[in-house]
Amino acid sequence: MLAKRIIPCLDVHAGRVVKGVNFLNLRDAGDPVDIAARYENEGADELVFLDITASHEERDIILDVVARTSEVVFMPLTVGGGIRTLDDIRKLLSAGCDKVSINSAAVTDPNFVKEAALRFGSQCIVVNIDPKRVPVAGATIPESVPEHLRVQPRPGKNGEGEQVYWDVHVNGGRKPTGLDAVEWAKEVERLGAGELVLTSMDADGTKDGFDIEITKAVSEAVNIPVIASGGAGHPQHLCDAVTAGGASAALAASIFHYGEFTIQETKEYMAQQGVTVRMVEQTAPSQAE
């Protein structure tokens, strides 16, 4: 039976893993290769590097990080952050990454998703969708958004209060697009995306749990795997994302980075709750003989 995947996400800035709150007060947290190897040993099912390097000149550093990581870590590796051209994707794949995740560029130019999937195969094209609940009153929808993709009234958090829009945001959650999260998910599937990462801007950073309603709505609307992201603070939250939320995988960052729970502990908890997860023996990866 297919296991639910646990995917740690590492923020990488200029070739180093960094920790911080909302990209502020970044602190060096180590070498990506070392941390990747540790997570593999703990039982991570995949790994995501989010390249938050701002300066253009330093962007190629991630290629070296990917190349070094893929020499010692033998699990799927996804890279996201600032991917805008087919050449960006080609360089990352030849460096050794398995999938790329596209966010803002998919909204700016949906055809980019289609071209990328045709060129490199759907299996390596992940699209990030960052929805945020915004009040129906006062929301402006750009004229350029096609009718069938426009935000439509959806339930508020926990079904309480007024109906809201699940508005897809870009630029790290700062900019609304007027795209409906569920309709946009169906659209990028149609364009050829092989997988979705769904990060609720309302839940992200709260540690109060994933946005289950949005996760469930999107998981049910598409046939490709959905990775729930944003809000993990306890192993129970990851259980909820893959059971009630219907996600194929859960992505988390701070819960693992700050040592609150190891991946092993998280998986043991999930297994006790009846979730199918892949348990690994705690051995060094080099001991395969």
Verify whether residue 130 is a known catalytic residue. yes
Considering only residues 54 to 73 of the shown chain, the ones binding another protein according to CB under 8 A are: 70-72
Residue (76 or 172) nearer to another protein, CB: 76
Q: How far is the CB of 204 from another protein (least distance, A)?
A: 23
Catalytic residue among 51, 88, 98, 130: 130
First to last CA, the chain: 27
Among 26, 29, 30, 76, binds another protein (CB under 8 A): 76
Q: How deeply is 111 buried, as exposed, middle or buried, from its count of CB atoms within 10 A (0-12, 13-18, 19+)?
A: exposed
Considering only residues 167 to 186 of the shown chain, the ones binding another protein according to CB under 8 A are: none
Site string for another protein, 116-155 (x = CB under 8 A): ----xxxxx-------------------------------
Whether 44 contacts 265, CB under 8 Å: no
Among 30, 52, 59, 96, binds another protein (CB under 8 A): 96
Among 34, 74, 85, 153, binds another protein (CB under 8 A): 74
Q: How far is the CB of 3 from another protein (least distance, A)?
A: 5
Per rule CB under 8 A, count of chain residues that contact another protein: 38
Asked if residue 195 binds another protein (CB under 8 A), the reply is yes
Residue (137 or 288) nearer to another protein, CB: 288
Whether 144 contacts 118, CB under 8 Å: no
Site string for another protein, 207-246 (x = CB under 8 A): ----------------xxx---------------------
Asked if residue 3 binds another protein (CB under 8 A), the reply is yes
Distance separating alpha carbons of residues 255 and 231, to the nearest angstrom:
9
Among 245, 248, 253, 263, binds another protein (CB under 8 A): 248
Instruction: Choose the binding region for another protein from 94-102, 108-116, 152-160, 202-210 (rule: CB under 8 A).
Output: 94-102
Residue (101 or 177) nearer to another protein, CB: 101
Tokens 């609307």, residue located: 221
Residue (93 or 141) nearer to another protein, CB: 93
Tokens 């593999």, residue located: 40
Can you give the three-state secondary structure of 105-169, one letter per residue? HHHHCHHHHHHHHHHHCHHHEEEEEEEEEEECCCCCCCCCCCHHHECCEECCHHHCCCCEEEEEE
Q: Can you read off the two tokens belonging to residue 210?
A: 């994933």
Dihedral sign (CA 241, 40, 270, 255): negative
- What 8-state DSSP symbol labels residue 3? P
Query: Which ranges in the chain belong to alpha helices (H)?
Result: 32-42, 61-72, 86-95, 104-108, 110-120, 181-191, 212-221, 235-242, 254-257, 263-272
Which sequence positions are flagged as catalytic?
A: 11, 130
Binding site for another protein (CB under 8 A): 1-5, 40, 45, 70-72, 74-76, 93-94, 96, 98, 120-124, 194-195, 223-225, 248-249, 278, 280-281, 283, 285-289
